[in-house]
């Protein structure tokens, strides 16, 4: 019997993306056989370049809107563009990725009896009327707006997960991920952390939408991956949804000022109009994650930012970012 026979076979869709590549890395470290599936819409081969030579890592170019027939013990479904610039580029494909992707991966989980994790999002809460958001809040989402392809696609994916759970007794694990940052974020995806860092490193104006008083919470990628792994390891009775994110709130202005300080940049803050449907505030209540997963973020914002700045610094100066 080969040693690999005993390894957990884990499928990661969207595995060449920002979160997916960190998750693949962690799963390999934990001794799993990892199959990374990606269509490279926003993910890159560079993100997983260090993993390719690992005999327990496999890469498959595939679009999750089409059925997939492989064997797996666990499935992490992360495939979906995550930043407004990318998910609004082809909104119909975004909805298809969330909805058809969920149907295809749930079908695969049903056939292989695999546990399946869904990377849902705080966007299912829309522009929330309650703060912080708990999992039992149903959300405040505009179904016809520019963000709907993402928000409603993810909401429908959650619906599918829970119907497969009720109808077919699938072992589902739904995480609602809040703003996460770290090395391998896309440099031009318009997300606030990467935007500010790239602008600061290039000495360009830092674009502050509105007056910068809107707040966000930022979770470092290693913390998020730890939460996802813990969620997957929970017993059959726990399905989520569970919030994974950092409850420490910062205003966007504070974030900009911290980035300026850590990069030593001379960039100036420039105010721009707020985009449509931009939430004023978003902050996770992570009581459930604390209770069920024994999880909470450990990496302070400044430490995470320092690591992320080092990555972008290398990337912009022509290296692969490490
Ligand atoms: N990063 C965050 O802050 C955050 C917050 C909430 C939720 N999420 C969710 O986590 C997941 C990963 O996000 P990310 O930040 O790593 O984004 P990302 O864009 O870096 O990763 C998404 C990956 O999915 C791939 N992909 C997209 N459409 C696909 C398709 N049809 N078939 C196969 N692969 C496809 C992309 O090429 C990319 O590699 C997404 O589902 C996202 O909605 C992320």
Per-residue pLDDT reduced to its tens digit, 185-218? 999 888 889 999 999 999 999 999 888 888 888 9
162-166-170 Cα angle (round to 5): 80
Token pair for 258: 């911290």
Q: Say which of 76, 150, 164, 311 is annotated catalytic.
A: 150
Query: Is pLDDT at 160 greater than 50 in this prediction?
Result: yes
| Separation between Cα atoms, residue 240 and residue 73, nearest integer Å | 19
Q: Name the CA radius of gyration of the chain, rounded.
A: 19
Rounded to 10°, the helix 301-316/192-202 angle is 60
Phi/psi at 121 (5° precision): -150, 155
Q: Of the given ranges (52-61, 155-164, 212-221), which has the lowest mean pLDDT?
A: 212-221
Say yes or no: CB of residue 11 within 6 Å of ligand 1.
Answer: no
Q: What is the pLDDT of residue 18?
A: 97
Contact 242, 295 (CB under 8 A): no
Q: What is the pLDDT of residue 181?
A: 96
How far, in Å, from the CA of 212 to the mean position of ligand 1? 26
Identify any residues that bridge with 206 across adjacent strands, giving them in sequence order: 269
Portion of the chain with pLDDT greater than 70, in percent: 96
Q: What is the pLDDT of residue 215?
A: 84
Token pair for 45: 């081969």
Q: What is the pLDDT of residue 6?
A: 82
Whole-model pTM: value is 0.95
Q: What is the pLDDT of residue 322?
A: 52
| Separation between Cα atoms, residue 224 and residue 229, nearest integer Å | 9
Answer yes or no: 209 catalytic: no
Burial 20-29 (b: 16+ CB within 10 A, else e): bbbbbbbbbe
How far, in Å, from the CA of 133 to the mean position of ligand 1? 22
How far, in Å, from the CA of 18 to the mean position of ligand 1? 7
Q: What is the pLDDT of residue 4?
A: 54
Say yes or no: CB of residue 158 within 6 Å of ligand 1.
Answer: no
Nearest CA to ligand 1 atom 1: 180
């Amino acid at each position: 019997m080969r040693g690999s026979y005993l390894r957990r076979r884990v499928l990661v869709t969207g595995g060449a993306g920002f979160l997916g590549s960190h998750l693949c890395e962690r799963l390999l470290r934990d001794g799993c056989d990892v199959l990374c599936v990606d269509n490279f819409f926003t993910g890159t081969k560079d993100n997983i370049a260090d993993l390719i030579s690992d005999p327990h890592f496999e890469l498959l170019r595939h679009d999750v809107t089409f059925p997939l027939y492989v064997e797996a013990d666990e499935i992490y479904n992360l495939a979906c563009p995550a930043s407004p610039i990318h998910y609004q580029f082809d909104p119909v494909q975004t909805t298809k990725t969330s909805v058809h992707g969920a149907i295809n991966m749930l079908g695969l989980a049903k056939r292989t009896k695999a546990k399946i994790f869904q990377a849902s999002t705080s966007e299912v809460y829309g522009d929330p009327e309650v703060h912080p958001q708990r999992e039992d809040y149903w959300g405040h989402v505009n179904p016809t707006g520019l963000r709907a392809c993402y928000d409603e696609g993810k909401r429908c994916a959650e619906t599918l997960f829970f119907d497969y759970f009720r109808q077919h007794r699938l072992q589902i694990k739904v995480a609602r991920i809040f703003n996460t940052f770290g090395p391998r974020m896309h440099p031009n995806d318009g997300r606030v952390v990467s935007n500010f860092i790239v602008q600061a490193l290039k000495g360009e104006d830092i674009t502050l939408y509105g007056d910068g008083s809107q707040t966000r919470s930022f979770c470092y990628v290693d913390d998020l991956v730890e939460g996802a792994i813990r969620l997957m390891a929970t017993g059959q009775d726990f399905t989520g949804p569970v919030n994974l994110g950092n409850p420490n709130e910062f205003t966007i202005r504070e974030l900009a000022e911290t980035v300026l300080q850590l990069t030593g940049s001379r960039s100036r803050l420039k105010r721009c109009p707020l985009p449509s449907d931009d939430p004023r505030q978003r902050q996770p209540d992570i009581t459930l994650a604390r209770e069920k997963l024994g999880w909470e973020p450990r990496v302070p914002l400044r430490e995470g930012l320092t690591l992320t700045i080092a990555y972008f610094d290398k990337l912009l100066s022509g290296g692969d970012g490490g």
